[in-house]
Amino acid sequence: MNLKNYLSIADEVALAIKEGRPVVALESTILSHGMPYPENVEFAKNVEIVVREAGAIPATTAIIDGKLKVGLSADELQLMCKAENIGKVSRRDVATYIATRKNGATTVATTMMIAEMADIPIFATGGIGGVHRGAQETMDISADLQELAHTNVAVVGAGCKSILDIGLTLEYLETMGVPVLGYRTDDFPAFYTVKSGFGVDFNLPDAATAAKIMKTKWDLGLDGGIMIANPIPEKYSLDFDEMEKVINNALKLAEEKGIKGKETTPFLLANIKDMTKGESFAANLQLAYNNAKVAAEIAVEYAKLNK
């Protein structure tokens, strides 16, 4: 591997990593393809502030000018938010984008890859990708799940996106040996709502326990990620049955329009936002901030263990 030719880590982030201080990776697909412009600019700034306030250094990742970027400048964040000619980069796209100097936003899968390369053990997102409804026919299963199976990074998310088949997503994670830990909950959250009706493997009482499980897993040589499922704060939680109706309408529309592949998730999120008159977007913002906060708290505890 000849990573140093490809990896470009911002000075502040590089120093924190070198000194063993807490760092939290953040993705850019949520900016470029998960949220509208210019609201995403405010989110991109605020989510980094949330990480800092909880005692860690934020490191948003992206592919820019032929480099895997870890830690973006204000201009680079702006570029990702404007999302003009910014692709959605999954594992299979990485080499092509770098070699041909195309700019791209990183998904959960690619942010995990880059975080591991940079030695950042934890990453906060909105919700992970997973097994889509109807995957028995379409075989649409997010590359995020394979990444969780193999890459040594803990991901804090409000469960998986509720547009997915949550039960099948959890089955897949079990098969791949990925621990699914609930942050102060017995229930696997459903993105916009606190509960999905499915359980988690273990109820994490605090950030220190999360850090201890991460260290133990990787000390044991048990490679692969960890899903830390952090429910949306109750006061921002939407009604599960209401959201199911909205999601089903969005799914029907996607089918009518023949939306497939990597377009599916952005299409559904944008339509759900419109159908709920922005209510779902407000919830999306809040759950993502909450994940950034918890990830930073865990990063702080993890850094202590490795001192």
Of 159-178, binders to ligand PSU (CB under 6 A) are 161
Task: Identify the active-site residue in 27, 76, 147, 301.
Answer: 27
Q: Is 161 a catalytic residue?
A: yes
- Out of ligand PSU, Mn ion, none, what residue 293 binds, judged by CB under 5 to 8 A for its kind, is none
Task: Identify the active-site residue in 48, 88, 147, 161.
Answer: 161
Q: Which residues bind Mn ion (CB under 5 A)?
A: 140
**Cα–Cα dist 132/137, whole Å:** 10
Closest C-alpha among 151, 213, 147 to residue 182: 213
Closest C-alpha among 249, 251, 269 to residue 259: 251
On whether the CB atoms of residues 229 and 200 are closer than 8 A, the answer is yes
**Cα–Cα dist 245/138, whole Å:** 22
- Out of ligand PSU, Mn ion, none, what residue 231 binds, judged by CB under 5 to 8 A for its kind, is none
**Cα–Cα dist 228/159, whole Å:** 8
Host H or E run for residue 303: helix 279-305
> Which stretch, 52-60, 195-203, 246-254, 262-270, contacts ligand PSU (CB under 6 A)?
262-270
Smallest gap from Cβ 154 to ligand PSU, in A, equals 15
- Out of ligand PSU, Mn ion, none, what residue 144 binds, judged by CB under 5 to 8 A for its kind, is ligand PSU
Binds ligand PSU by CB under 6 A, chosen from 40, 61, 103, 142: 142
Smallest gap from Cβ 20 to ligand PSU, in A, equals 28
Total Cβ atoms within 10 A of residue 279: 17
Q: Is 27 a catalytic residue?
A: yes
Binds ligand PSU by CB under 6 A, chosen from 22, 71, 121, 129: 129
Smallest gap from Cβ 132 to Mn ion, in A, equals 6
Pairing label, strands 23-26, 122-124: parallel
Tokens read off for 93: 């796209």
On whether the CB atoms of residues 25 and 302 are closer than 8 A, the answer is no
Q: Which residues sit at the interface with ligand PSU, rule CB under 6 A?
A: 27, 29-30, 33-34, 107-109, 125-127, 129, 142-144, 161, 262, 265, 269, 284
Residues catalogued as catalytic: 27, 161
